[in-house]
Amino acid sequence: MKKTMACVAVLVLVSGFAVASEKSPDSVDYSILVDADTTAGNLDGSDAFDRRYLVTYDGTCNAVSSDSSLDGSPYQVFEISSPVTESLEAEVVLGTLEDSVLFVYCDPFDPLNPELNLRAWDDDDGVGYGSAITPADGYMIEADTPYFLVVGGFADDDFGDFTLNLGGNAVFGQVQPTPTPSPAGPAPVPTLSRGGMFTLMLVLAGLAVAVLARRR
């Protein structure tokens, strides 16, 4: 019994140390003032991955990151795009979900290899323990290019609903390109119907008769 209690105490201590080592001071409560697009989400544990943290943004899809010790975090994926190149603005507004992390991936996102195609992340820059990526972060997304926002729970027992908001010009899904108008072709040559041809012949015949009558 004593050994069991000792093991439990060690696990609690290790878990607490892991959380403390990955949880930075929460000094930002950013909120998007004007939403460009919004959607609801829910982490129910149906999908989980061994998430990353300490992602170093360098403008590529191969950002350096560290392997989180908090494995098996629930997650949900959202495809986004923008018609213009701009700084990404996104926030996770917490509902019953108490603590989130937010990742930006280039196409494709592979939960079995979460270090691949990773572009940026945030932990607590939203309101409370919500996550937010702000224009000041300078995390750029290219025009008409698919990206994936992955909302995860901070730990493996962080479940619940939330709202994901986008700012700027970004939208969920793929931006539909504006169709290019077809170049104007040559103007059609006017044609006469059969009745029009007959009328024209009568007019010409009448003119011919009039000319002959004058010559007489």
pLDDT digits (tens, 9 = 90+) for 44-53: 999 999 999 9
With contact defined as beta carbons under 8 Å apart, do 120 and 106 qualify?
Answer: no
User: Going by C-beta distance under 8 Å and a sequence separation of 6 or more, which residues neighbour residue 7?
Assistant: none
With contact defined as beta carbons under 8 Å apart, do 92 and 132 qualify?
Answer: yes
In a domain, 72, yes or no: yes
Distance between CA 184 and CA 149 in Å, rounded? 42
pLDDT reading at 145 higher than 80 = yes
In a domain, 169, yes or no: no
In a domain, 79, yes or no: yes
79-138 pLDDT tens trace: 999 999 999 999 999 999 999 999 999 999 999 999 999 999 999 999 999 999 999 999
Output 186 or 151, whichever has higher pLDDT. Answer: 151
Reported in sequence order, the residue ranges of 44-159 that DSSP labels E, i.e. its strands, are 48-49, 52-56, 64-67, 73-81, 86-87, 90-94, 100-106, 118-122, 132-133, 140-141, 147-153
In a domain, 176, yes or no: no
pLDDT reading at 158 higher than 70 = yes
Query: What does the pLDDT average to over 5-28?
Result: 57
In a domain, 69, yes or no: yes
In a domain, 37, yes or no: yes
In a domain, 215, yes or no: no
Classify 93 as helix, strand or coil.
Answer: strand
Q: What is the pTM of this model?
A: 0.76
Structure tokens that stand for 126 in this block: 């939203």
In a domain, 110, yes or no: no
29-75 pLDDT tens trace: 999 999 899 999 999 999 999 999 999 999 999 999 999 999 999 99
* Residue range of the domain that includes 46: 33-97+130-159
φ/ψ of residue 27, rounded to 5: -110, 5
Domain count, the chain: 1
